[in-house]
Chain A
């Protein structure tokens, strides 16, 4: 199948996703303003920032699930705007997306959830699908018995792992993790962190992780971008307030960055009470 060796076509280090002056607003509310950034092939990029600063929107823009209000999103240097619906759907299969709440299909079992992408996009035999799905389920540390369970029977950590197995089923080159550890206990958080690392060691994938969890930043990040909510910025100030390695983030002298990475309220409570 063509998708299995597709990732070889990207040179390590080339720009695989690029955003050029991208803005996005919902109704009258602007969430992202004039964002320019790149994701390089093979890296693990972590996006941090307060809730509501547009990180999840960024991920959906990167994958073409949302359209930008202005500016261009490029995949391998080609704007996605020019592609037909069919091409867009086909190219989007290079991405795996782990959704915030896992977004498992409620009406399907774990097995059917993981098999969905294969059934939808390939003509594989039932036997091959079974084999492939069970491998994915084992990759994320779930037992074969859990394959027949329904999503409502799973714990939060299991749901996230099934979501990860589903995102990996089509062997994507790029995996986008939207808050993969939010709502999990510290041990499960580290399990997910380890899975992110293991995924990368198994195959040369590009990863983009949105998170609030600094342990994830420490453990998986090659490069960190920090976003700031537009409402806290003056007009014209760039929305990306930090770019660098995790070490640089922890030693940053920018009060906005250090406040976030060390999790300090400072005068925020007074500010909120006054508003």
Chain B
């Protein structure tokens, strides 16, 4: 009877309370026998709090596991780089094949900023200033985040699915059996490719977005081109562009680590692979926005550390 009860508890998805339940049952065997109804109601009233606690612990465990995964990856990176052909293949997949989608989305985001901003600025007769807004938004936020999102969607989920399939079909075990380390062979090249190439993709997104914004503002909406550039140059500093590119490297690292981690811990079968791909995108996207927030706070403070006086508030 106590055994059955503990089994029931673990079946409803609370493996964490079962050890204590076992202790409890072995110490007070009469408890369950005497009052089965009250045990059942206790189990019910524990449900919400315990599932909340269970979720929290699972979250913290997942985060810790991800941190260990990252450390192992970094450690293997210091033990000699993987073969060039393997890295180049990853770089081709991550970099070259992502250019198209980054250019298209970058172009449209630049153009839509122009359309959205124009109405407001036109009301104030300040439409020549629109370039400043478009370009600062692009290089500081939209370029890096857009490139990272595209990378997470196009490359991140593909990596999770590929490594997940390798896990499910025992190819990762086969690598180890043949004397290769899966971290060094699979994770490090993907990490390097994402980390090193995402600034370039961001630069592409920035550039095409700037072009798209300019095209729509000056050629369609009739803003004067000279003033457009003049105001843009007033506002957009090299520091903004560089921090945008720097930020994207954090995104690239997060995408690579999260996607590979999801792939390595993939569940069984086609369902597991599908879930790994979806989770890797969702988690990467969350990680992108969270790191974006913190890195932006940091770079903003850093700006005032380097240039203490507020430079231009007009």
CA distance A96 to B178 in the complex (A): 8
Is A7 among interface residues, defined by CB-CB distance under 8 A? no
Instruction: Give the interface centre of B174, B175, B179 by most chain A CB atoms within 10 Å.
Output: B174
What chain A residues lie within 8 Å of B10 (beta carbons)? Answer: 28
For residue B18, which residues in chain A have a CB less than 8 angstroms away from its CB? 28
Answer yes or no: A166 CB below 8 A from chain B CBs: yes
Q: Is B176 an interface residue (CB 8 A)?
A: yes
Given contacts A27-B15, A28-B15, contact A101 B170 (CB under 8 A): yes
**Contact at B177–A97, with CB atoms within 8 Å?**
yes
B179 touching A121, Cβ below 8 Å: yes
Q: How far is the CA of A245 from the CA of B176 in the complex (A)?
A: 33
Interface: A117 (CB within 8 A) = yes
CB distance from A177 to the nearest CB of B (A): 13
For A60, list chain B residues within 8 Å (CB): 173
Asked if A120 lies at the interface with its beta carbon under 8 angstroms from chain B, I say yes
Measured CB to CB, the nearest residue on chain A to B89 is: A107
Decide: A93 and B179 in contact? CB cutoff 8 A: yes
Partner of B170, one of A92, A103, A167: A103
> In A35-80, which residues have CB < 8 Å from any B CB?
60, 63, 65
In the complex, whether A95 has a CB less than 8 A from a CB of chain B is: yes
Are B179 and A117 in touch, CB under 8 angstroms?
Answer: yes
- CB of B170 within 8 A of CB of A95, answer no
B166 / chain A contacts, CB cutoff of 8 Å: 106
Q: A124 on the interface (CB 8 Å rule)?
A: no
- Let me know if B169 is at the binding interface, CB within 8 A: yes
Which chain A residue shows the least CB distance to B174?
A103
Q: Which residue of B lies closest to A27 (CB)?
A: B15
B300 contacts the other chain (CB 8 A): no
Interface string of B158-196 (1 = CB under 8 A from A): 000000011001110111111111000000000000000
Give Cα A116–Cα B176 distance, bound, in whole angstroms.
Answer: 11
Residues of A in contact (CB 8 Å), total 26
The minimal Cβ–Cβ distance linking B275 to chain A, given in whole angstroms, is: 18
Asked if B176 contacts A99 (CB within 8 A), the reply is no
Q: Which of B3-46 contact A (CB under 8 A)?
A: 10, 15, 18
Verify if A89 is at the interface (C-beta below 8 Å from B).
yes
Name A120's contact: one of B165, B173, B178 (CB within 8 Å): B178
Q: Within 8 Å CB of A100, what residues of B? A: 170
Q: Chain A nearest CB: distance from B12 CB in Å?
A: 14
> Which residues from chain B contact A117 at a C-beta distance below 8 Å?
178-179
Tell me the complex Cα distance, A170–B177, Å.
Answer: 11
**Given A27-B15, A28-B10, A105:B171 Cβ within 8 A:** yes
Chain B residues within an 8 Å CB radius of A170: 178-179
For residue B180, which residues in chain A have a CB less than 8 angstroms away from its CB?
Answer: 116, 120
Return chain B residues, CB-CB under 8 Å to A96.
177
- Chain A residues in 8 Å Cβ range of B176: 65, 89, 92
Given that A99-B170, A101-B170, A106-B171 are contacting pairs, would A116 and B178 also be in contact in the complex, using a CB cutoff of 8 Å?
yes
A90 to B174, alpha carbons, bound, how many Å? Answer: 15
CB distance from A10 to the nearest CB of B (A): 20
CB distance from A75 to the nearest CB of B (A): 15
CA distance A103 to B10 in the complex (A): 34
Determine if B173 and A99 form an interchain contact, defined as CB atoms under 8 angstroms apart: yes
Which residue on B lies nearest to A100, using beta carbons? Answer: B170
Q: Give the residue of A28, A65, A93, A104 whose beta carbon is less than 8 angstroms from that of B173.
A: A65
**Could you tell me if B179 and A101 are in contact, using CB atoms closer than 8 angstroms?**
no
A92 touches B179 (CB 8 A): yes
Tell me which residues across on chain B come within 8 A of A63, comparing CB atoms.
177
**Residue with the highest number of chain A CB atoms closer than 10 Å, among B10, B165, B176:** B176
CB distance from A161 to the nearest CB of B (A): 15
Minimum Cβ distance to chain A for residue B173 (Å):
5
CA distance A97 to B174 in the complex (A): 8
How far apart sit A92 and B175, CA to CA, in the bound complex (Å)? Answer: 12
Roughly how many angstroms separate A166 CA and B170 CA in the complex, as a whole number?
14
Interface hits, B138-168 → A, CB 8 Å: 165-166
A89: B residues at CB distance < 8 A: 176, 179, 181
B166 to chain A, nearest CB (A): 8
| A72-131 contacts to B (CB < 8 Å) | 89-90, 92-93, 95-97, 99-101, 103-106, 116-117, 120-121
What is the minimal beta-carbon distance from B264 to any residue of chain A, in angstroms? 14
From 171 to 230 in chain A, residues with beta carbon under 8 angstroms from any chain B beta carbon are none
Interface positions of B (Cβ within 8 A of A): 10, 15, 18, 165-166, 169-171, 173-181
Using a CB–CB cutoff of 8 Å, the interface residues on chain A facing chain B are 27-28, 60, 63, 65, 89-90, 92-93, 95-97, 99-101, 103-106, 116-117, 120-121, 166-167, 170
Q: What are 6 A-B contacts with C-beta separation under 8 Å?
A: A65-B173, A93-B179, A96-B177, A101-B170, A106-B171, A120-B178
